[in-house]
Structure 1
Amino acid sequence: PARPLVWRTPLTGLMTGTAEPGLTAAACVLIGSTGFDGITRTTYWRDNVDPSSVLAGTLGLAAAIAAVAVLYTAALRAGAHLTGQDPAALPGRFAATLLPIALGYTVAHYFSFLVLEGQTTFILLGDPFGTGLDLFGAAGNRVDHDLAGPALTAQVQVNAIVLGHIAGTIAAHDLALRSPDRALRGRLPLAAVMVALTCAGLFALLSG
């Protein structure tokens, strides 16, 4: 039988502790790739790396993803050592708590792109074949760059990153409370990594 639709508390699905296959890798790729996108917009990257270099971009992307994966795995293995748990089981169990962070990074880095290109898409959809149609009454409209001005974009970016990390930390803390040993000291390394990712994300934004 079909399952009924129900209202659920936000983040409930993040705290089941189920180690879904591939979730750890997917979360690390989401955070690492979006973080690398932020790095490429920094003054340091633009001044020191050829933007047309495929090799530099590929190596940088791989390094960013690897850094996130290593930090995350090392933090949980350190936590497992402190609590006597199986170090191989924890990365998959806590992987879902990285998803709010990935969402925050995505919103921060692509907010202005969505707002500006979204307007362009809407205008073009009104006359998709260039035949003079005006399906949405948007003919002659121009992209309003003020909708994604510097001040608003900066506010959205900072809030998205901070709130994403807060949500991820809360989810990880709640999941830790549900563990058999409830040894919160074992989650300190993961909390430290989340704080480090927050600082790195904000640094990349402020260095742009």
Structure 2
Amino acid sequence: MDLWRWINPWTGPVWILQSLMGHQPKFRLSPKLGHSLGVVSFLGFVTFLLADIAPSDPARLARAVAAYWLLHLIGTLLFGHRWALRAEGIGMVMQLYARLAPFGRYSKSRAFGLWGWQIAQRRAVPPGLALLCLLVLGSGSFDGVNETFWWLAQIGLNPLEFPGRSAVIWQTLAGLILSNVLLVGVFAATLWMGLMLGRVTDVSLATAFCLFAPTVLPIALGYHFAHYFTSFLVEAQYALISATDPWARGQDLLGLGHVYVTTGFFNTQESVRVLWLCQAGGVVIGHIVAVLLAHAVAVRHFGSARMALLSQVPLAIFMICYTFFGLWLLASPRGF
């Protein structure tokens, strides 16, 4: 189920403005651009999240979100619905994740299946979307790496005397770029080895890249869950307080009484163990689904079960290694 279509912050305002002004899109987004604008939009969001000196500062965050919203509101009004499908990076990522939903439509009827079945049933995605799938995984992975003692040691910093985010802006940008380039290169090399091993001659490397790139989405989603799970447990409490008292006037619109933010679940070994197991479970499940999904895609598009099996050996090894990498990230000490 695509929940994004129900919470998309542009759909309502665009419909209202078009109805009141009788406005129709005046420009056409060139097909030659593909999904490049969306890729740039997503990378801009990730850059702000990882490299900005204070991305969680309320005023700074509000300005960034307002600028992003206004930019894509204007783009949608000028270029129509295609802008949201090809240029708005966050929405594009949400639509990709929606393909992992167990509920969907198949042959114009409602259907239910294992997570990712909709990806297995579809044709290859365009190159821009394929690249975006890898960037989501690569950026999410570096989001975890850049906080570890290992990474801080690589850029010459004492993790116990972290000087602040302003001191590592360029190192963070370089690490983000390097991580994504390395992941795309390794993934492409893995696919090439799989095609050679399975002797798949009727599928090019470019086509295989567009076919199998969406199969890493379960891994990326598992990382997002694991990385932000503990933050969610705390920030959700602040969101609840804001919802019941949005103007900080002592109101209680939701009738919740006094709500206090607690981080008590970090105080005991048993509760931390439960949290860690939940995070590790998210990572492992994401990888299991990704391996199964990649094999289903190979069987559907390569025709021969033997060719599909042999071609997936390098990719399966890649995903297993990434599992260990993800669990290492969860267990690694953090510098800030």
Task: Report if TM-score (shorter chain) is over 0.5.
Answer: yes
State the partner residue of 1:9: 113
- The aligned amino acid for 2:281 is N
Tell me what 1:91 maps to: 209
Distance 1:142 1:5 in 2: 46
Counterpart pick for 2:226 among 92, 105, 108: 108
Q: What corresponds to 1:34 in structure 2? A: 140
Within the alignment, does 1:19 sit opposite 2:124 as a pair?
yes
Distance 1:160 1:117 in 2: 20
Equivalent residues in 2 for 1:60-139, closer than 5 Å: 60-82=175-197, 83-85=199-201, 86-139=204-257
Q: CA shift at 1:58, angstroms?
A: 0.5
Deviations 1:75-128 (A, max 9, x none): 111112222332221011112211111110100101111111011111111111
Q: Distance in 2 between matches of 1:158 and 1:166?
A: 12
Q: Secondary structure at the match of 2:110?
A: coil
* Greater length-normalized contact order (CA 8 Å, ≥ 6 residues apart): 1
Displacement over 4 Å in runs of 4+: none
Pair 1:180 & 2:284 matched: no
Aligned counterparts of 1:57 and 1:153: Cα–Cα separation in 2: 28
- The worse-fitting range, judged by mean Cα deviation, of 117-126 and 82-91 is 82-91
| Contact 2:265–2:272, Cα closer than 8 Å, also in 1 | no
Per-residue displacement from partner, 1:38-82 (whole Å, max 9, x unpaired)? 112222234544643110111111111112111111111111222
Cα offset, 1:150, TM superposition: 2.2
Q: Determine helix, strand or coil for the equivalent of 1:89.
A: helix
The size of the alignment, in residue pairs, is: 206
Deviates more, 1:167-176 or 1:47-56: 47-56
Question: Is contact 2:222–2:285 with CA below 8 Å preserved after alignment?
Answer: yes
Q: What TM-score, normalized to structure 2?
A: 0.57
Identity %: 30
Unaligned 5+ segments in structure 1 are none
8 Å contact kept, 1:76–1:190? yes
Counterpart among 167, 177, 186 of residue 289 in structure 2 = 167
The structure with more radius of gyration: 2
Instruction: Provide the C-alpha distance between the structure 2 equivalents of 1:15 and 1:146, rounded to a whole number of angstroms.
Output: 42
Contact 1:81 1:87 in 2 (8 A): no
How far the C-alpha of 1:197 sits from its partner, in A, is 1.1
1: CA distance, partners of 2:295 / 2:108: 30
Shift of 1:176: 1.7
C-alpha separation between the residues in 2 aligned to 1:135 and 1:96? 42
Root-mean-square deviation over aligned CA pairs? 2.0
- Unpaired segments ≥5 residues, structure 2: 1-106, 158-162
How far, CA to CA, are the matches of 2:272 and 2:295 in structure 1? 34
Q: CA deviation at 1:28?
A: 0.9
